[in-house]
């Protein structure tokens, strides 16, 4: 195992939490799942984005930093590596698509101050699904506060992830896995395929793309 810290990322409905849990179980890894269910601003944001975007993004920023900083630094000696279903840069990507220009400029200053103190992932895995399939997954899991999510919003978030990876391709290892043709949540053969893709190959610095 060449990795100490792996991130599984993706758009809303991409299946990142499902995959992270499966991998953590398989490898006895320490799992860091995103804790967002109790965020009081999330349902309000989906109903009124303009009013609640700034407090929502600030609360996510604080929660994500607190969780990642504690969990990554407090290593479990009986776990070979850490796997998280999000990373701190998610905050910047989502904020860039929800905040006004002035709000985002202030937010980015706060983000940059905090970000420098966090450990960086050895491998950043991005699960790519077309917006059509994201919408299907979102409807299937049936969270009430996600019912108002529009395809245009998912498209902007997706573009935000791609832009982030382009801008930082000289610093990190990114692995973009196109999962439109597989169902790793329900088919074990598909899960094994994606697991092997992540762990049985050595990836170079920059953006690496795989279609499954």
Contacts of 60 (CB under 8 A, 6+ apart): 36, 39, 91, 94
Cβ–Cβ under 8 Å, residues 184 and 197:
no
Q: Residue 35: what pLDDT?
A: 77
Residue 10 parent element (H or E)? strand 5-10
pLDDT digit string (tens) for the chain, length 212 residues: 689 999 999 999 999 999 999 999 999 999 999 876 577 888 888 788 889 999 999 998 999 999 999 998 888 889 999 999 999 999 999 999 889 999 999 999 999 999 998 999 999 999 999 999 999 999 998 888 788 889 999 999 999 999 999 999 999 999 999 999 999 999 999 999 999 999 999 999 999 999 99
Q: What is the DSSP letter of 159?
A: H
Q: Residue 37: what pLDDT?
A: 56
Mind telling me the catalytic residues?
A: 85
Q: Residue 1: what pLDDT?
A: 62
* Predicted model pTM: 0.91
The domains found in the chain, sorted by start residue, are 5-211 (3.40.50.300)
Distance CA 113, CA 110 (A): 5
DSSP letters along 11-55, please?
Answer: STTS-HHHHHHHHHHHHTPEEE----TT-THHHHHHH-HHHHHHH
Cβ–Cβ under 8 Å, residues 177 and 149:
no
CA distance readout (Å), 82 to 25, 72, 85? 12, 7, 10
């Amino acid at each position: 195992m060449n990795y100490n810290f792996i991130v599984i990322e993706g758009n809303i409905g991409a299946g990142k939490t499902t995959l992270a849990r499966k991998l953590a179980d398989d490898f006895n890894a320490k799992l860091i799942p995103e804790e967002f269910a109790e965020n009081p601003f999330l349902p309000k944001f989906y109903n009124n984005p303009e009013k609640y975007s700034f407090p929502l993004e600030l609360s996510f920023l604080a929660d994500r930093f607190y969780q990642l900083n504690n969990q990554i630094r407090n290593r479990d000696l009986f776990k070979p590596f850490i796997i998280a279903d999000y990373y701190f840069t998610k905050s910047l990507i989502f904020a860039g698509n929800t905040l006004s220009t002035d709000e985002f400029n202030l937010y980015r200053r706060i983000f940059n101050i905090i970000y420098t103190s966090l450990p960086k992932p050895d491998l950043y895995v991005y699960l790519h699904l077309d917006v059509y399939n994201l919408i299907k997954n979102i409807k299937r899991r049936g969270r009430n506060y996600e019912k108002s999510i529009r395809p245009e919003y998912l498209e902007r978030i997706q573009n935000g992830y791609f832009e982030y990876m382009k801008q930082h391709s000289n610093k990190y290892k990114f692995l973009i896995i196109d999962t439109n043709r597989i169902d790793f949540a329900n088919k074990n053969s598909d899960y094994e395929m994606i697991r092997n893709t992540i762990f049985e190959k050595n990836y170079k610095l920059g953006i690496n793309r795989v279609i499954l």
